[in-house]
């Protein structure tokens, strides 16, 4: 419908075992409008299927970055954000 706000696309990236478990390295998603924060996004993702439920079951083991910066569960998700999900880092 003309004039209606376009649904917000979020670009999701998965790394390390989150990539293995979801079987995806990246995807574009359009969460419902009541998904406004990182925590709400994770909860919504969890409901998408058994592989997501499994990958996201241990929230303490997951770090999130929004637009390449570490984010908390309460941080907002905005239009066209790049949201990355990954385990605690192990470089160096």
90 is a site residue for another protein (CB under 8 A): yes
3 is a site residue for another protein (CB under 8 A): no
Pick 50 or 91: Cβ nearer another protein: 91
77 is a site residue for another protein (CB under 8 A): no
Helix/strand/coil (H, E, C) string of the chain?
CCCCCCCCCEEEEECCHHHHHHCCCEEEECCCCCCCEHHHHHHHHHCCCHHHHHHCCCHHHCEEEECCEEECCCCECCCCCEEEEECCCCCC
Q: Which of residues 13-32 bind another protein (CB under 8 A)?
A: 13, 15-17, 20
Interface size with another protein, residues (CB under 8 A) = 18
């Amino acid at each position: 419908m003309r004039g209606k706000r376009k649904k917000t696309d979020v670009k999701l990236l998965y790394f390390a075992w989150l990539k293995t478990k979801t079987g995806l390295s990246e995807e574009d998603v359009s969460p419902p409008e009541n998904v406004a924060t990182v925590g709400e996004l994770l909860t919504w993702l969890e409901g998408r299927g058994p592989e997501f439920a499994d990958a996201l079951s241990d929230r303490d083991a997951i770090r999130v970055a929004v637009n390449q910066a570490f984010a908390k569960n309460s941080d907002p998700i905005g239009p066209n954000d790049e949201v990355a999900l990954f385990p605690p880092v192990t470089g160096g």
